[in-house]
Amino acid sequence: MGGVDQAFVQEPEQRPKPSTIEVDGIPVIDMSVSGTGGIEKLASEIGNACRKWGFFQVINHGVPLELRQRVEKVAKAFFDLPIEEKRKAKRDELNFTGYHDEEHTKNVRDWKEVFDMLIEDPTFLPASPDPDDEEIRTYSNKWPENPPEFRETCQEYCREVEKLAFKLLELISLSLGLPANRLSDFFKHQTGMLRLNYYPPCPSPELALGVGRHRDGGALTVLAQDDVGGLQIRRQSDGEWIPIKPIPNAYIINIADALQVWSNNLYVSAEHRVVVNSERERFSIPLFFFPSHYVKVKPLEELVNEQNPAKYKEYSWGKFYVNRTGSNYKKLEAKNLQIDHFKTPESE
């Protein structure tokens, strides 16, 4: 990526400042529990984390360490390939899977390269964000030739982390006082994806960001990060950017927008960003857990009453997602769609 091109430079108020903040950080939750009492306690811990932070880390989560190490190895091998080789699997306007090095967040280019793959292959999504356009498009994964074990390793990893995502979804349902399977039907034909992120060393880390500030649009994100660090979340209480310290073999979980809406603002989809550094490359692997394209997202009826009316109008997940995917692809004149667009007067 060479020097810092103007396309990467953040507005002055968004540039990272040297952090002197020392905090305990987000909750770390041990998932190795058994019995009804243990599960209730675990759900309660997760609920508290979702309310206060919108982020938490999990340990003893059931995803084999050996598999995680294998996917980290193939990710590094792929990003180490010559640019011409990587671009053989490049994303295009008709298919957003594959390699990409021009991602934008809030219309500023991110200092990173990515490789995206769908969890369900094929995945079905609306052809356009237009509410009157009923066409559904079929998307399939684009795979690189090298490294040869890339496809099989990533698919195996997807399946294991997807199991963890469903387990977390059940615990979050329980934490809201709902049956464990309350949210499961929304994911029958889920539209989620796995992403491999590569953040090269940056000559001017004080000007650029690996990912600009944003909230995730889906339901949950399950993130593996290496030991370099760089992820920061915005603390609810004072708006300060708090670094998330890497814990070996832990996963970072964050609540995304759809879950904030389903919970009627009981749980928070927190803003976060990634800072870069000038010395070390960084890798991270998020699994974005998204509902089926036909799901209408709105506050769950069990959580709405006269004292606590619905804070959001219903919206189509598929249309919302397709709108946001387009704005990640290139710089747009308009800001991308946010859940704030669907707020009701009662939410004020």
How far is it, in rounded angstroms, from Cα 111 to Cα 10? Answer: 11
Average pLDDT over residues 322-328: 71
- Pick 41 or 209 by higher pLDDT: 41
Give domain status of residue 1, yes or no: no
Residue numbers of the domain that contains 97: 6-342
pLDDT at 55: 95
Give domain status of residue 107, yes or no: yes
Identify the band that residue 1 occupies on the pLDDT scale cut at 50, 70 and 90: very low
Residues facing residue 252 across a β-bridge? 57, 223
Give domain status of residue 347, yes or no: no
For residues 327 and 104, the answer to whether their CB atoms sit within 8 Å is: yes
- Pick 12 or 46 by higher pLDDT: 46
- pTM, whole model, 2 decimals? 0.93
User: 185-199 as b/e, with b when 16 or more CB fall inside 10 Å?
Assistant: ebbeebbbbbbbbbb
User: 24-39 as b/e, with b when 16 or more CB fall inside 10 Å?
Assistant: ebbbebebebeeeeee
HEC profile of 149-204: CHHHHHHHHHHHHHHHHHHHHHHHHHHCCCCCCCCHHHHCCECCEEEEEEECCCCC
Is the pLDDT at 262 greater than 80? The verdict is yes
Q: Residues 176-229: pLDDT tens digits?
A: 999 999 999 999 999 999 999 999 999 888 888 888 899 999 999 999 999 998
Average pLDDT over residues 62-71: 98
Strands (DSSP E) along 259-301, which ranges?
A: 272-274, 282-289, 296-297
In 3-state terms, what secondary structure has residue 49?
Answer: helix
Q: How many domains does the chain have?
A: 1
- Could you tell me the CATH number of the domain that includes residue 149? 2.60.120.330
Give domain status of residue 234, yes or no: yes
Mean of pLDDT over the chain: 91
Give domain status of residue 154, yes or no: yes
Give domain status of residue 230, yes or no: yes
pLDDT at 120: 97
The DSSP code sequence of 56-105 is EEEES-S--HHHHHHHHHHHHHHHTS-HHHHGGGB-BTTB--EEES--EE
At 238, list the tokens. 């004072």
- Pick 169 or 108 by higher pLDDT: 169
pLDDT at 41: 95
Considering the chain, what percentage of its residues have pLDDT values greater than 70?
93
At 277, list the tokens. 């550094």
Average pLDDT over residues 231-240: 88
**68-72, 104-108, 120-124, 240-244: the lowest-pLDDT one:** 104-108
Identify the band that residue 24 occupies on the pLDDT scale cut at 50, 70 and 90: low
Give domain status of residue 348, yes or no: no
* β-strands 98-100, 113-118 pairing: antiparallel
- Pick 250 or 326 by higher pLDDT: 250
Is the pLDDT at 159 greater than 50? The verdict is yes
Give domain status of residue 314, yes or no: yes
